[in-house]
Structure 1
Amino acid sequence: MAQTDATKTSDFSGFLKPEIAQNYFEQARKSSSVMQLARQIPLGINGQEIPYSTSKATAAWVSEAGQKPTTESGLALKSIKPHKIAAISVVSAEVVRANPGNYMQILRDDIAEAFALAFDAAALHGTSTPFGAYIDQSSKSVEIGTTTKPNGGVFGDVVAGLKLLTDAGKKLTGFAFDRKVEPSFLGAVDNNGRPLFVDTPLAETTAAITPGRLIGRPAFLGDNLATAVVTGTPNTGGIVGYGGDWSQVVWGAVGGISYKVSTEASVTLNGSLVSLFENNLVAILAEAEYGLLINDVDAFTKFTDNT
């Protein structure tokens, strides 16, 4: 949310130490389902160009002494460029000295999560996206709860999503679901009575993401992946998950999340420009540069819960 006033000691604030800035990026990566499933590539400040196949070489049978056919493969380039994301927090100088309640540790985690949520919202829903294509543009969709219990229930819904992909010549390499579907998954079994979703907790995995497996593929349950809910029914509505070929998505970052600290700049608070020096305030700017390229939005199936 937009800041309307400087954080004061009464608000339990603190000071960001330079030596922990790099850890921001690691926390953001672990909090993003898209970053977990997609491939990370090196990304420079000028971006990258990625070759992709437009046509494949073919072969044909020939008779004895017959003419051999010619063939070729076609290639083209797609560009991935970094885009900046940023946040500024303003605290009083007294907060810097007192550091009550270890507020800056909390702020660090909040900024990391905010960057991850903004990245996922852009990649999945196109929310304020600077990247172009986003996964909600896929034409494939399955409603959770469509398959009757005798025909597989939720397990059948997931398999129906797989079928949409295989019928189109696509692959399914993993899933990303909003945590609101976890009760449905935990109460569902496959046709052999085995749990549909099997969690695989890792020691280095944060609580923001629950890793597991779904029909033999890696799956992640996370927060804030779903679209807007239906009015009056907070547990249902909109898109609640995705399954698809995550090799069609690449992302990169120019370094980690960096920051600057200033006591002399001016910052807009509650619509007015405020002098930090004049008001004895400290501003902390956190920013990062991410790039994202989705090669094929129809390599994904959306799972909805509108009923």
Structure 2
Amino acid sequence: MAQTAATNTSEFAGFLRPDQAQAYFDEARKRSVVQQLVRQVPLGINGQEIPVTTSKPTAGWVSEGGQKPTTSGEKTLKTIKPHKLAAISVVSAEVVRANPANYINDLREDIAEAFALAFDAAALHGTSTPFGNGNYIDATTKAVELGTATVANGGIFADVNAGLALLVNDGKRLTGTAFDSITEPTFNGAVDANGRPLFIDSPTTDNTATVRDGRLLGRPSFIGEGVAKGTTVGFGGDWTKAIWGVVGGITYDVSTQASVTLDGQLVSLWEHNLVAIRAEAEYGWLVHDTAAFVKYTEGAGA
């Protein structure tokens, strides 16, 4: 006989324990190209001041008994503050009752993907960002259009290498790249100056993973969803010039009584026998040198 008892939030609360938070964050990191390229730092609820190097000391050769050169390295403090990121998942009570454990596993992937895409959009493009004006990678003024170079002149390899040239000519360096999934067919057929595949897959990576990782120009590279916006389809640069952090765990809230907005309309959970799980986390992000990055745009020949 089918179960017709009213849904009680306590039935599902046990599957949303705080100790599951790390699994959510780990899953979100796998789906975020930014979090895989950028260093994570410990972050408290009040934020944290991070020392940033603006100039480095230099050394020089001296003769025996000669005067030693004196230089100074300079640092400045930058503040990274946490901001709340939230997502609500709604499903029928019957689905949750049928297999609550499996539903929570699915929920973890859905929430992780939502967190990853929202975080990357803010960090890369400043989309709905709470992190402050200009605190995103796309604020860089360096840009290269993919498809500019002809095949005879190096094709996509030459375009990507042109981005590296913009960086090194400005005293910056390339530690990795991030490209959107829409560029994957382009890189699949691209070769370097020696005829070798331009993008080389990591041999230890699951080929079915949401984010494809490998190496491009000898550096770590990730291809995933949510990187593109407008004509921008990828970024390269010194990812040590940015940091991110997360505060504590995830706050869970389960309800069958509230109303939620679905497809632009307010819907009563109780009237429709639905369950809503709200997940909230606090993330921080800081890029302290946008000039250390170059963006790649999509050209007609890419």
Give the TM interval when normalised to the shorter protein.
0.7 to 0.9
Give distance in 1, aligned partners of 2:21 and 2:66. Answer: 67
The residue that corresponds to 2:16 in the other structure is: 18
The residue that corresponds to 1:285 in the other structure is: 278
The amino acid across from 1:48 in the alignment is Q
Going from structure 1 to structure 2, the CA distance change for 1:208 and 1:65 (only over 3 Å counts) comes to: closer
Going from structure 1 to structure 2, the CA distance change for 1:62 and 1:135 (only over 3 Å counts) comes to: same
Q: Is the 8 A contact 1:174 1:217 kept in 2?
A: yes
Going from structure 1 to structure 2, the CA distance change for 1:155 and 1:281 (only over 3 Å counts) comes to: closer
Give distance in 2, aligned partners of 1:95 and 1:134. Answer: 40
Q: Is the 8 A contact 2:269 2:276 kept in 1?
A: no
The residue that corresponds to 1:257 in the other structure is: 250
Give distance in 1, aligned partners of 2:65 and 2:24. Answer: 66
Secondary structure at 1:255 match in 2: strand
The residue that corresponds to 1:49 in the other structure is: 49
The amino acid across from 1:191 in the alignment is A
Q: Which stretch of structure 1 is more off in the superposition, 219-228 or 64-73? A: 64-73
Q: Which TM-score applies when normalising by structure 2?
A: 0.82
The amino acid across from 1:31 in the alignment is R
Give distance in 2, aligned partners of 1:105 and 1:138. Answer: 38
Give distance in 2, aligned partners of 1:187 and 1:197. Answer: 9
Give distance in 2, aligned partners of 1:162 and 1:244. Answer: 8
The amino acid across from 1:172 in the alignment is L
Equivalent residue for 2:289, pick from 285, 293, 296: 296
- Cα distance per residue 1:198-242 (max 9 Å; x no partner): 1114357861111111110010010121113xxxxxxxxx11111
The amino acid across from 1:134 in the alignment is Y
The amino acid across from 1:18 in the alignment is L
The residue that corresponds to 2:6 in the other structure is: none
Superposed displacement of residue 85, structure 1: 0.4
Superposed displacement of residue 92, structure 1: 4.8
The amino acid across from 1:53 in the alignment is T
Equivalent residue for 1:246, pick from 221, 231, 239: 239
Q: Is the 8 A contact 2:43 2:247 kept in 1?
A: yes
Secondary structure at 1:259 match in 2: strand
The residue that corresponds to 1:154 in the other structure is: 156
Q: Which stretch of structure 1 is more off in the superposition, 17-26 or 168-177? A: 17-26
The residue that corresponds to 2:299 in the other structure is: 306
Q: Which stretch of structure 1 is more off in the superposition, 15-24 or 241-250? A: 15-24
Q: Which stretch of structure 1 is more off in the superposition, 46-55 or 99-108? A: 99-108
| Aligned residue runs from structure 1 range 103-114, under 5 A | 103-114=103-114
Going from structure 1 to structure 2, the CA distance change for 1:281 and 1:224 (only over 3 Å counts) comes to: closer
The residue that corresponds to 1:267 in the other structure is: 259
Give distance in 2, aligned partners of 1:158 and 1:47. Answer: 36
**Alignment RMSD (CA, Å):** 3.0
Give distance in 2, aligned partners of 1:220 and 1:112. Answer: 18
The amino acid across from 1:286 in the alignment is A
Q: Is the 8 A contact 1:243 1:302 kept in 2?
A: yes
Q: Is the 8 A contact 2:148 2:299 kept in 1?
A: no
Q: Is the 8 A contact 2:96 2:103 kept in 1?
A: no
Unaligned segments of structure 2, at least 5 residues: 1-10
Secondary structure at 1:18 match in 2: coil
Q: Is the 8 A contact 1:24 1:109 kept in 2?
A: yes
Give distance in 2, aligned partners of 1:126 and 1:188. Answer: 30
Q: Is the 8 A contact 1:24 1:256 kept in 2?
A: no
Going from structure 1 to structure 2, the CA distance change for 1:205 and 1:78 (only over 3 Å counts) comes to: farther
The amino acid across from 2:112 in the alignment is A
Q: Which TM-score applies when normalising by structure 1?
A: 0.81
The residue that corresponds to 1:32 in the other structure is: 32
User: Percent identity at matched positions?
Assistant: 62
- Cα distance per residue 1:119-148 (max 9 Å; x no partner): 000011110011121111100001111112
The residue that corresponds to 1:80 in the other structure is: 80
Q: Is the 8 A contact 1:81 1:291 kept in 2?
A: yes
Give distance in 2, aligned partners of 1:134 and 1:303. Answer: 15
The amino acid across from 1:151 in the alignment is N
Give distance in 2, aligned partners of 1:139 and 1:83. Answer: 27
Superposed displacement of residue 96, structure 1: 3.6
- Cα distance per residue 1:163-184 (max 9 Å; x no partner): 0000000000000011111111
| Aligned residue runs from structure 1 range 209-224, under 5 A | 209-224=211-226
Superposed displacement of residue 272, structure 1: 4.2
Secondary structure at 2:291 match in 1: helix
Matched, 1:184 2:186: yes
Secondary structure at 2:248 match in 1: coil
Q: Is the 8 A contact 1:15 1:95 kept in 2?
A: no
The amino acid across from 2:73 in the alignment is S
Secondary structure at 1:147 match in 2: coil
